Amino acid sequence: MRCVILRDDDTNALTPVDCLERLYRPFLARGLPVNLATIPEVRTDARTPEGRHEGFLPPGLGAAPGMVALAENRALVEYLHQNPGYHIAQHGCHHDTFEFDRTDRSDVIRRIERGARRLREAGFDAVKAFVAPHDKFSPAAYAEVARRFPVISSGWFEWRRLPPAWRVRYGLKKILGQPHWRVGRTRLLSHPGCLLSHQRPCDTMLETIRRAVERQPLTVLVTHWWEYFRDGEPDEPFIRVLHATAEFLATEPDVRVIPFAALAQGEDGGPRRRAVGMRAEVLSTDGM
């Protein structure tokens, strides 16, 4: 059995409910969980590493720079709670540039805990997974996040950014060619790039996803909701590919779609079969 985790990044207090509903109703209707890496308190002037306004901000946002907590968008919060197929992961705190690539441990802790508090205020108090903005961690950030979350999802891992105590385990992972690994009780998951991206050709995107899923027992598929609505307009061909992905994942007999929490439940000693029967498979493939 092959497992897939669908991770959508950048949901925040400024995200329109209609966008999520348009994209993910075919997944929810089929019982496929959608993991939303959610910004707990978004900065309204968030910038990319290149200095551009982040794509998840509404076009023409004219308010003075500030921060908006998730709980302030009551319609969005109610929608997420009404649809239990959505699973929340903590996506940093404010989505500042390289927010968790910081050496100041106290600042890292402040951001982790502030972000968790903002999610709890919106009713999400059992978050199991953490995603850093721009996939950048400092050694201090890795250590502090791992103390609090059973799952870290990232694009890649770099030797120089890891806590020194983790490096032997990371070296073993590299030697064995494993995409996923574990330190203590925390699983560290990589992904094969953003396969669902407007920067990829629509006509080959689904086949690329199929090949990625076939190659390993656990695949993290990453996308960004706002890429489907660039400039405020829906990208219909791209949306069709996403919905075709839902059909593929729902009908492929050897594929099960799981939330990040399924990994945490298996690790924490919960019902082993409830994690969609995949605990032993993941353990056998990540070298643990």
Pairing of strands 151-153, 186-189: parallel
Alpha-carbon distance of 55 to 61, in angstroms, equals 11
What are the tens digits of pLDDT across the range 77-123? Answer: 999 999 999 999 999 999 999 999 999 999 999 999 999 999 999 99
What are the tens digits of pLDDT across the range 40-50? Answer: 999 999 999 99
pLDDT of 23 higher than 50: yes
The pLDDT of residue 271 is 33
What are the tens digits of pLDDT across the range 133-150? Answer: 999 999 999 999 999 999
Other CB atoms closer than 10 Å to residue 282's CB: what's the count? 22
- Say which DSSP state 49 is in: T
Q: What share of the chain is helix, strand, coil (3-state, %, to 5)?
A: 45, 20, 40
Alpha-carbon distance of 138 to 118, in angstroms, equals 23
C-beta separation of 41 from 11 below 8 A: no
- List C-alpha distances in Å: 23 to 35, 165, 227: 13, 41, 11
pLDDT of 28 higher than 80: yes
Mean pLDDT on 173-189:
94
Backbone angles phi, psi at 129, to 5 degrees: -125, 150
Alpha-carbon distance of 128 to 122, in angstroms, equals 16
Per the prediction, the chain carries an average pLDDT of 91
pLDDT band at 62 (very low <50, low <70, confident <90, very high): low
pLDDT band at 266 (very low <50, low <70, confident <90, very high): low
Task: Work out the percent of the chain whose per-residue pLDDT is above 90.
Answer: 86
C-beta separation of 196 from 223 below 8 A: yes
What are the tens digits of pLDDT across the range 229-238? Answer: 998 899 999 9
- Lowest mean pLDDT across 67-76, 181-190, 276-285: 276-285
Pairing of strands 151-153, 129-131: parallel
C-beta separation of 36 from 80 below 8 A: yes
Across the chain, the runs of DSSP E, i.e. the strands, are 2-11, 34-38, 41-43, 67-69, 86-91, 129-131, 151-153, 180-183, 186-189, 218-224, 255-257
The pLDDT of residue 285 is 37
Other CB atoms closer than 10 Å to residue 65's CB: what's the count? 9
Burial label for 9, CB within 10 Å (0-12, 13-18, 19+), is buried
Q: What pTM did the predictor assign? A: 0.91
Among residues 76, 69, 77, the alpha carbon closest in space to that of 93 is found at 69
Collapsing DSSP to helix, strand or coil, 131 comes out as: strand
The CA R_g of the chain, rounded to the nearest whole Å, is: 18
Backbone angles phi, psi at 196, to 5 degrees: -100, 90
- What is the Cβ-side half-sphere exposure of residue 135, based on CA atoms within 13 angstroms? 14
Domains delineated in the chain: 2-285 (3.20.20.370)
